């Protein structure tokens, strides 16, 4: 439905979109202020020059948006425009202040990304199975919205419609607050003795994983969404204060912890919608090539579907712990079969 797309900004998101479109034989043009980024992105996407792109995707940092909007509108006043910023109110305000008529613009936000950035980290399948939010303004042309929805679905994402203000409030909750929390927790590790850090387990790793995020990207996001973020941080600040007051009181601690446990259960399962309940089959295998393949061959022979897998190595030991996640029935079937042919299968668990 859209045959030609110009993408302005050859970062992770822009280039990934370019790769995905190229894989679907849509004509793509990649532009970037940095000529080396542009050259790489053009190479990766087989990018061409397009005089009259049907759609122009703005994939630049927030600070460049106003200038780029006006430049691009001057070049191609008939194109449909969309952005991919992580916030949606400020881009809309920038469009309102620009020459670009609102009817030709659709704000969007692909909920996808990686801790690494840049065109060199781009992936055509970055958006597969992810949510992609659109925040069309009342004035957005229905044709323009249709084009944008079409592209999103082409890239394998699920289109979610929100208004811009709700979007910024929502991502403050599910993305910005966790980011800041991870950042502050990781920041507290400076000066800790290395022998103590050696004791770090999954808990510390999980809670600080996203602290690896790019500060240049995030400084824009947080300051753009500062009102929402400030409100949430202030609530957290109060809750933290309450916890400090409660540290000597077991019953108060238990109430706070129970609240956290119940809160976590509100998060939907990995695939969205209802939480999936898997059954886990732990198997101790020799840590050498061939073992995993043999297990997966047995899975195929049994026609069971492995939903997830975790590998836990034993440093200095010649074995590893593999935990497969399957449906309850498949787990029983697989576990019985593998045990019967001599695999070191541990009791299945939820």
Supply the minimum distance, in Å, between the C-beta of residue 221 and a second copy.
9
Q: Can you count the helices (H) and strands (E) in the chain?
A: 14, 11
Q: Could you tell me the smallest distance in angstroms from the CB atom of residue 143 to a second copy?
A: 26
Query: Phi and psi for 124 in degrees, rounded to 5?
Result: -65, -30
Helix (H) or strand (E) segment spanning residue 258: helix 250-264
Site string for a second copy, 100-139 (x = CB under 8 A): -----------x----x---xx-xxx--xxxx-x------
The number of residues that bind a second copy (CB under 8 A) is: 137
We find the least distance from the C-beta atom of residue 71 to a second copy, in angstroms, to be 23
Binding mask 267-286 for a second copy (x = CB under 8 A): xx-xxxx--------x-x--
For 56-105, the DSSP string reads EEE-S-GGGHHHHHHHHHHH-TTSEEEE--S-SHHHHHHHHTSSS-GGGE
Binding mask 203-222 for a second copy (x = CB under 8 A): xxxxxxxxxxx-xx-xxx-x
Report, in Å, the least distance between residue 168 CB and a second copy: 11
Q: Is 25 in the site for a second copy (CB under 8 A)?
A: no
Q: Can residue 342 be called a binding residue for a second copy (CB under 8 A)?
A: no
DSSP string, 25-60: T-EEEEE-SSHHHHHHHHHHHT----SS-SEEEE-S
- Restricting to residues 234-263, name those near a second copy by CB under 8 A: 234-237, 239-241, 243-244, 247-251, 253-263
CB of residue 31 vs a second copy: minimum separation in angstroms? Answer: 22
Contact pattern from residue 138 through residue 167 relative to a second copy, giving x for each residue in contact according to CB under 8 A and a dash for the rest: ------------------x-x-x-x---x-
For a second copy, the binding residue among 165, 223, 328, 329 (CB under 8 A) is 223
Rounded CA-CA distance 142/159 in Å is 15
Strand, helix or coil at 311? strand
Q: How far apart are CA 245 and CA 236, in angstroms?
A: 14
Cβ atoms of 291 and 344 closer than 8 Å: no
Q: Where in 288-327 is the site for a second copy (CB under 8 A)?
A: 288-290, 292-293, 295-297, 299-300, 303-309, 311-317, 319, 321
| Cβ atoms within 10 Å, residue 89 | 21
């Amino acid at each position: 439905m859209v045959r030609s797309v110009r993408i302005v900004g050859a970062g992770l998101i822009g280039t990934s979109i370019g790769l995905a479109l190229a894989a679907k034989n849509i004509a793509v043009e990649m532009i970037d202020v940095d000529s080396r980024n542009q050259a790489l992105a053009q190479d990766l996407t087989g990018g061409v020059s397009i005089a009259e792109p049907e759609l122009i995707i703005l994939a630049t940092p927030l600070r460049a948006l106003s200038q780029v909007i006006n430049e691009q509108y001057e070049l191609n006043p008939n194109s449909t425009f969309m952005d991919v910023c992580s916030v949606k109110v400020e881009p809309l305000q920038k469009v309102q202040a620009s020459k670009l008529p609102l009817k030709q613009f659709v704000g969007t936000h692909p909920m996808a990304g990686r801790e690494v950035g840049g065109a060199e980290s781009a992936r055509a399948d970055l958006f597969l199975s992810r949510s992609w939010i659109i925040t069309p303004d009342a004035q957005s042309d229905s044709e323009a919205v249709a084009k944008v929805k079409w592209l999103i679905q082409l890239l394998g994402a699920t289109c979610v419609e929100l208004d811009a203000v709700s979007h910024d409030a929502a991502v403050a909750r599910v993305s910005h607050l966790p980011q800041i929390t991870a950042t502050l927790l990781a920041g507290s590790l400076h000066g800790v003795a290395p022998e103590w850090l050696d004791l770090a387990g999954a808990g510390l790793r999980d809670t600080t994983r996203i602290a690896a995020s790019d500060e240049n990207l995030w400084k824009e996001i947080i300051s753009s969404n500062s009102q929402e973020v400030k409100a949430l941080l202030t609530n957290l600040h109060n809750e933290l204060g309450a916890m400090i007051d409660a540290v000597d009181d077991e019953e108060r601690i238990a109430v706070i912890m129970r609240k956290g446990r119940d809160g976590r259960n509100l998060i939907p399962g990995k695939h969205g919608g209802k939480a999936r309940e898997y059954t886990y089959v732990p198997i101790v295998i020799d840590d050498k090539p061939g073992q995993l393949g043999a297990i997966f061959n047995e899975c195929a022979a049994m026609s069971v579907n492995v939903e997830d897998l975790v590998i836990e190595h034993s440093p200095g030991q010649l074995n590893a712990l593999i935990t497969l996640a399957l449906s309850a029935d498949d787990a029983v079937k697989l576990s019985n079969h593998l045990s019967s042919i001599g695999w070191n299968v541990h009791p299945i668990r939820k």
